[in-house]
Structure 1
Amino acid sequence: MGNDRKQSITAWLCLLPAIIFLGVFLVYPMIDVLIYSFEEGYNFASRSFLGIGSYNYSYVLHDPYFIKALKNTFIIVIITVPMSTGIALIISIALSHITRLKELFQTIYFLPYVTNTLAVGLVFMILFRKTAYTDGMVNILINAFGARSIDFIEGPYWAKMFVMCFYTIWVVLPFKILILTSSIASVDPIYYRAAKVDGTSKLRMFYKITLPMISPMIFYLIITGFIGAFKAYSDEVALFGTDLNAAGMNTIVGYIYDMLYGNSGGYPSYASAAAIILFSIVFTITVINLIVSKKTVYYS
């Protein structure tokens, strides 16, 4: 018993730095944000408030800017997460069947992941934005097919959302391809050899062998994809500038930032309420995914 107690104390001492770090930089800020969200009429300068209640949540949920940000965020999540995962899966399967120059293709697909987000956004602006001198490369291609030019950056809402989703998918694809390619490579070849002996088609092998074996990684990418998409902000700034409300392309995280530091900033209580709402949405979706995964994810 003495030896077990000593090992237990040693283990807790090893974990202590991580526990302190998480407590100071994760648990305490979350509790602080929760408290801020219920403090009505909080004054940042005097650090005083008028009372405790749910007014901050009511204000945020009725704020047209937040409703717009919520709509934009959900559209980005619903479109980009499944599409990026599906495209990454197709590319990963194609890469797994390449024998020559396989490493070269993997490197090419991974390059956008190590490129600065704002630099990629600037390139997308050049490709899609109409200026006094040019309509942009994309519009040149559109004109070649006889269609009229579209201002994707300052034009209609659907055009801006198309660019936003396209950009988001482009940015997240490399990481997903890397994870899925590694996952497919880790599948034991004996399963495929046994399936070939039975005369199983490649399509059936994919559905019955490859997909179940890599399902934990697909589930991981979906969960992290949802969380990442709900936290979208820097991508929008890279394309549409810092005044996302004027562009009609703000997100929940952008709304929180605006409430803290933007032109309409100085309202930490409203920002805290919006942050708690965002946390609740992400937490709920994550729990739903975990419940669904029990029936759809295969853990060998």
Structure 2
Amino acid sequence: MDRNSKKAWLYLLPSLVLLGLFLVYPLIDVAVYSLEECFNFASQTYQGVGLYNYSYVLHDPYFLQAVENTFVLVIITVPVSTILALVISTALSSIRPLRKLYQTVYFLPYVTNTLAVGLVFMVLFQRTEYTDGLVNLMLAWFGAGPVDFINGPHWAKMFVLCFYTVWVVLPFKILVLTSALASVNDEYYKAARVDGTSRTRIFFRITLPMISPMIVYLVITGFIGAFKAYSDAVALFGTDLNAAGMNTIVGYVYDMLYGDSGGYPSYASAAAILLFVIVLTITCINLLVTRKRGEGGVSL
């Protein structure tokens, strides 16, 4: 190892130490907990080592419900929010006057407290003995009956959670895509206009290939963020998500540690490892698919 390599490793050492302390060690510790059967947190004792905790979690109806809710949330919110962000970013990039003002307005929900936004959504969607809520008032204009989106059927609650999640993540995606669109070399557009290329063909042949790395980044981080959803559901449906039927995988882990059914760190660790495997698998699949397709190129 030459002198430059030693310097490089020396510069990397603080980051490696921090990663080891706050990422690698906790992951190993959680994996060990997940294999210790009937672990007693007070006495730090367990009865054996095996896969019983995983078997229990995979057969727990609350966990299965949490997995279903999480996957529905991921499948709906990630593509919807990404497509909406792309459409809005493209529209903003074509507007010269007041562009910065519009970007600021769209970014405001991202810097607003999550629980505060959740309270606003509860006011909009929740039915009470005094009012049906603003959304139901708007539905009445079209002759639709009132729906209890907060305490009613599962599909209605899932709709509110997906709507809320898209609302929260949309500003960041708009900001990233707007910056990506601004970085595209204008010479490509000029050459396309000289050739008489239509706007639609320019968008799909030039714009999308040039910003595809950012879209891939947003999709992958969107999947990871949606799988870690918890505070969104709490903001809308309260802390007893199992009773509401709206728990997520992260919420299940929290309940096993601190909730009414808490005190089971082994079960919580097993659920956390399962979540890690799911997120890692989907991320690897995304990376493999995008690598095979390549970053794309400009072609007319």
TM-score by length of 2: 0.97
State the shift of 1:290 in Å: 0.6
What are the superposed Cα offsets for residues 51-102 of structure 1, whole Å, 9 maximum, x if unpaired?
Answer: 0100000000000000000000000000000000000000000000001100
Whether 2:121 is the aligned partner of 1:124: answer yes
Q: Distance in 2 between matches of 1:297 and 1:148?
A: 49
Q: Distance in 1 between matches of 2:197 and 2:294?
A: 22
User: Which of 81, 84, 103 is matched with 1:87 structurally?
Assistant: 84
Answer whether contact 1:40 1:49 (CA < 8 A) is retained: yes
User: Which of 27, 34, 37 is matched with 2:34 structurally?
Assistant: 37
Which residue of the partner structure matches residue 223 of structure 2? 226
Whether 2:186 is the aligned partner of 1:205: answer no
Q: Distance in 2 between matches of 1:10 and 1:211?
A: 41
Aligned residue for 2:2, secondary structure, equals helix
AA of the residue aligned to 1:118: L
Which residue of the partner structure matches residue 252 of structure 2? 255
Answer whether contact 1:60 1:274 (CA < 8 A) is retained: yes
State the shift of 1:48 in Å: 0.4
Q: Distance in 1 between matches of 2:35 and 2:241?
A: 27
AA of the residue aligned to 1:40: E
Whether 2:156 is the aligned partner of 1:159: answer yes
Q: Distance in 2 between matches of 1:124 and 1:60?
A: 32
State the shift of 1:297 in Å: 4.1
Q: Distance in 1 between matches of 2:20 and 2:265?
A: 21
What are the superposed Cα offsets for residues 244-283 of structure 1, whole Å, 9 maximum, x if unpaired?
Answer: 0000000000000000000000101000100110011111
Q: Distance in 2 between matches of 1:165 and 1:281?
A: 20
Bigger shift: residues 7-16 or 39-48: 7-16
1:260-279 equivalent positions in 2, closer than 5 A:
260-279=257-276
Q: Distance in 1 between matches of 2:258 and 2:38?
A: 17
Q: Distance in 1 between matches of 2:54 and 2:78?
A: 28
Aligned residue for 2:150, secondary structure, equals coil
State the shift of 1:299 in Å: 6.3
What are the superposed Cα offsets for residues 181-232 of structure 1, whole Å, 9 maximum, x if unpaired?
Answer: 0001100010111111111100000010000000000000000000000000
Q: Distance in 1 between matches of 2:5 and 2:285?
A: 35
AA of the residue aligned to 1:170: W
Whether 2:164 is the aligned partner of 1:171: answer no
Aligned residue for 2:97, secondary structure, equals coil
Aligned in 2, Cα 1:297/1:134: closer, same or farther, shift over 3 Å? farther
Which residue of the partner structure matches residue 99 of structure 2? 102
Q: Distance in 1 between matches of 2:251 and 2:103?
A: 33
Q: Distance in 2 between matches of 1:146 and 1:11?
A: 68
Task: Give unmatched runs, 5+ long, in structure 2.
Answer: none
Whether 2:209 is the aligned partner of 1:215: answer no
Q: Distance in 2 between matches of 1:58 and 1:145?
A: 49
Q: Distance in 2 between matches of 1:208 and 1:147?
A: 43
Extract structure 1 runs of 4+ deviating beyond 3 A: none
Answer whether contact 1:215 1:297 (CA < 8 A) is retained: no
Q: Distance in 2 between matches of 1:74 and 1:120?
A: 23
Whether 2:293 is the aligned partner of 1:286: answer no
Q: Distance in 2 between matches of 1:297 and 1:144?
A: 49
Bigger shift: residues 130-139 or 64-73: 130-139
Aligned residue for 1:27, secondary structure, equals helix
Whether 2:21 is the aligned partner of 1:18: answer no
AA of the residue aligned to 1:115: T
Q: What's the RMSD between the two structures over aligned residues?
A: 1.0
State the shift of 1:133 in Å: 1.3
Aligned residue for 2:128, secondary structure, equals coil
